[in-house]
Amino acid sequence: MNECYQPIKGKIERIIDETPNIKTFVIRPQTPIKFLAGQFIELTLPGVGEAPFTPSSSPHVEDTLEVTIMRAGVVTNLLHATTVGATVGIRGPFGKSYPMDKFFGKEIQLIGGGVGMAPLRSLLLALMAEVNKFKRVVLKYGAKTPADIVYKGQFKEWRKMKGLEISSCVDSAKLCDNWDDKVGVVTCLLEDSVKEKEDKSSTIAVVCGPPIMMKFATLKLLEQNHKPENIYLSMEKNMSCGLGKCGHCAVGQYFVCKDGPVFTYAQLKDHPELWT
């Protein structure tokens, strides 16, 4: 019998405070879990509930797995209250990953907002493992304030990496923050690409963040002549089973959990409930 509804056990090995409301949990599953960047898991807090998260760690690491979680409600609040050593349950991985083979030889732009950086970190680590295979890798990340930026320590290391360009922006910064990058909503990250006046027809753009950010980023990308089939979105819908059975995640004919969560804008653009 396939045990698709039964979580396997995992232990929380380390908890990293990222921002006032985001933590990264390092989890060691009882048996290693192999996943691809962009796929997601269902994480159970025993006796509380289950919620979907995208691993933020490298897909090349199998014996532990990291999830970066923002406090947003019942399950996530109580996850934040757990301590090292706590038991959690894991089902998955589920869904379609980013299609790496379609990215080879191209310029890749990763555009993240807030906790939407989680799947992008996993993808970034996968891309950096084969960095020579891409024309250029650019990471554009936005958060509310400098304090809300995730993976602060790692950004410093990434800025030193060869083959990776990073720009970041915050909605607002105080003088004491010592912020020396851009200030403005996330689309301001995309402004400089206009100035470059480059041909964007083969550039891959991968967007992940709150729905409103994804909407405006996508509109901006289209304005800059990015092709709908080269814009990748990670959709967030209510999910329960992860297997295309329980119905919750349906957007038109798609079940986000099995046909996504990674979609191209071309696949979804005609659906009236896309941004809701």
Partner 1 sequence: MSSKNKFISRKDLTEFLEALSVENNIFHLTDLLEYVKFEKEVDSRPAIDAIRSTIPLKAFFVNHGEKLEHSGDSREKANSCEGAVTKAYGHQTANIIFGVKACDLKAKIIMDEIYLKGVCSDPFYEFNNDNTIIFSSDCPYPSDTCFCNVVGGKPYAESKDYLFDLNFSAMEKGCMVDIGTEKGDKIIASNARFFRDATSQETALREQIRKNAVVKLEDINSAYAGLKNLKLESVLKEKFDSLAWKEFSQTCVQCGGCNNACPSCYCFYLDENIEDKASDELAPKTRLWDACHYTSYGRVAGGANSRPHLYERFRNRYECKFNYRKENFGIYACTGCGRCVSVCPGKIDIRQVLVKLAGEK
Ligand X SMILES: Cc1cc2nc3c(=O)[nH]c(=O)nc-3n(C[C@H](O)[C@H](O)[C@H](O)COP(=O)(O)OP(=O)(O)OC[C@H]3O[C@@H](n4cnc5c(N)ncnc54)[C@H](O)[C@@H]3O)c2cc1C
Given the rule CB under 8 A, which residues bind partner 1?
Answer: 1-9, 44, 46-50, 70, 72-73, 76, 87, 89, 94, 211, 236-238, 240-241, 243-248, 250, 252-253, 258, 272-273, 276
Closest Cα to residue 212, out of 164, 265, 266, 275?
275
The neighbour count for residue 139, using CB atoms within 10 Å, is 26
Task: Rank residues 89 and 142 by Cβ distance to partner 1 and give the closer one.
Answer: 89
Rule CB under 6 A: say whether 75 interacts with ligand X: yes
Mask of contacts with ligand X, 29-48, x by CB under 6 A?
-----------x--------
Contact with ligand X (CB under 6 A) among 19, 24, 44, 54: 54
CB of 200 to ligand X, least distance (A): 27
**Helix 188-196 / helix 211-223 crossing angle, nearest 10 deg:** 10
Paired sense of beta strands 87-94 and 40-45, if any: antiparallel
CB of 133 to ligand X, least distance (A): 26
Considering only residues 204-263, where is the footprint of ligand FES by CB under 6 A?
239-242, 244-249, 255, 257
One-letter identity of residue 6: Q
Considering only residues 218-257, where is the footprint of ligand X by CB under 6 A?
236-239
42, 239 in Cβ contact below 8 A? yes
- For 67, phi and psi rounded to 5 degrees? -125, 135
Residue 128 exposed, middle or buried by CB count within 10 Å (0-12, 13-18, 19+): middle
Q: Choose the contact partner of 180 out of ligand FES, partner 1, ligand X, none; CB within 5 to 8 A by kind.
A: none
Rule CB under 6 A: say whether 53 interacts with ligand FES: no
Residue 19 exposed, middle or buried by CB count within 10 Å (0-12, 13-18, 19+): buried
Q: How many amino acids of this chain bind ligand FES (CB under 6 A)? A: 12
Rule CB under 6 A: say whether 74 interacts with ligand X: yes
Residues contributing to the site for ligand FES (CB under 6 A): 239-242, 244-249, 255, 257
